Every structure is written in C-alpha cells, then in structure tokens.
Amino acid sequence: MQRYDHRTALVIVDLQNDFADPAGGLAVHGGANLVPIINAEITMARSAEATVVFTQDWHPPTTPHFQKDGGLWPVHCVADTWGAELHPDVDDEAAAHAPRVRKGASGEDGYSGFTMRDPTTGETTPTELEGLLRDSAIERVIVCGLATDYCVKATALDAARLGFETAVLLDAIRPVELAAGDEQRAIDEMSAAGVHSWSTRMR
C-alpha cells in the first residue's frame, strides 16, 4: 500500500513548541518524540506529490480558552510567541513552504483545523483548510500531531464529516489525557466516525 499520492493530504496538527517541547505551556508527554516520525511522513508525502499542511493553535493573550480567563487551559500558543512556533526540528523545507492554517486568532475556542467556534455564541465558522484541500482536489486526509484527544480528534472527525477518506497515524499522535481514558475514548470516537487507524510502520 502506498500511503500518499497527489490526491492525499498530510495534515500535521499543532506541532508547536507549547505542545511539543517539554518546557511548553501545555506540554504533551512524548510530544517531541513525534517530530522525527512526522518528518519521515513529510518526506514520504512530498516524494509522492501529496499535499502537506500544518495547523497552528493561535490564541490572543486573553481568551475564554485560558484558565486565567475562565476557561480550561493554561496559557499556550499565544500568536507570534515562541510557544506558537512550529517545533524547530520540523523539516525545514516543509516549515518554509507548506501552508499553515491558524485557528483561534479572534479568541475562538474550537479544536478543529477545519472550524472555529465562537466561545460566547457557539457559532462555528470554517477556517481556510477545507478550501485549501478542495483547491488541490484532495480526496484523502491523513492526520497526525497533537493532541489526540482535542485537536487531532476534532480535525479528523471534521475531515470525515466533510467527506474525505480519513486516517489517523496512531504512533504519530499523543494525548493530553486530562482524565484517564481520554486517549482511548478519542480513538474509539474517531473509529466510530469511520476514521481509519494506521501506523507509520505500515507501508
């Protein structure tokens, strides 16, 4: 099986310092270990002329997403700070040229790379991700990155809902796991929605 082709997109979710670096504001256990695994996927994707896209969590300094402002999370991925940058070991070529879809800039608190949710009205608005994939005639979406139980899950569920054949790379994602079992529940939820569970060791 060839994982990538020109109708396939590798969507790399929130591989940013605040999640991937142990010193990050919302460090995900083992997050940094994903970087070389995902770089290998980027190389494979690029050589098959697949599309590579990054999403970035991209928050204002004050947002109901953050604990200090009434939300759930420690401060992380504030726009234009170190924590919001892609991990420095991400493939240089991809970091320089692959499109980046930034979500949350106006204080939206959705988790998906495809949609943002207004924290007061609950209204959702699309990001540019779907249009970007449609413009490249993408049919299949492969999701990896951080974190399994939030942005990876939400992005994969939206991709499937939008009609893309969707897979998640189980050894290229890691959970926040606020509550024990969140990782498995997220994987089950994705499976129930028709998202394939693949391994990067599968060729």
Residues that bind ligand VGL (CB under 6 A): 14, 19, 57, 73, 111, 146-147, 150-151, 176
User: How far is CA 61 from its chain centroid?
Assistant: 21
Of these residues, 14, 18, 91, 149, which one is catalytic? 14
The residue (of 57 and 149) whose beta carbon lies closer to Zn ion is: 57
Determine, following the binding rule CB under 5 A, whether residue 130 of this chain makes contact with Zn ion.
no
The CA distance from 176 to 77, in Å, is 15
Of these residues, 149, 151, 153, 158, which one is catalytic? 151
Q: Check if 151 is active-site.
A: yes
The residue (of 93 and 126) whose beta carbon lies closer to ligand VGL is: 126
Q: Check if 188 is active-site.
A: no
Q: Which stretch, 49-57, 158-166, 179-187, 192-200, contacts Zn ion (CB under 5 A)? A: 49-57
Of these residues, 103, 109, 149, 158, which one is catalytic? 103
The residue (of 41 and 158) whose beta carbon lies closer to Zn ion is: 158
The residue (of 4 and 111) whose beta carbon lies closer to ligand VGL is: 111
Determine, following the binding rule CB under 5 A, whether residue 108 of this chain makes contact with Zn ion.
no
The CA distance from 113 to 43, in Å, is 22
Q: How far is the CB of 35 from Zn ion (least distance, A)?
A: 19
The residue (of 6 and 68) whose beta carbon lies closer to Zn ion is: 68
Q: Check if 144 is active-site.
A: no
User: What DSSP letter does each residue of the chain carry, written as one string?
Assistant: -----TTEEEEEE--BHHHHSTTSTTPPTTGGGHHHHHHHHHHHHHHTT-EEEEEEE-B-SS-TTBGGGTSSB-S--BTTSGGGSBPTTS-HHHHHHS-EEEE-TTS-----SSEEE-TTT--EEE-SHHHHHHHTT--EEEEEEE-IIIIIHHHHHHHHHTT-EEEEEEEEEE---SSTTHHHHHHHHHHHTT-EEE-TT--
Determine, following the binding rule CB under 5 A, whether residue 21 of this chain makes contact with Zn ion.
no
Phi, then psi, of 142 in degrees rounded to 5: -115, 125
The binder of Zn ion chosen from 57, 91, 149, 183 (CB under 5 A): 57
Q: How far is the CB of 182 from ligand VGL (least distance, A)?
A: 11
Which residues are catalytic, by number?
14, 103, 151
Q: Which residues bind Zn ion (CB under 5 A)?
A: 57
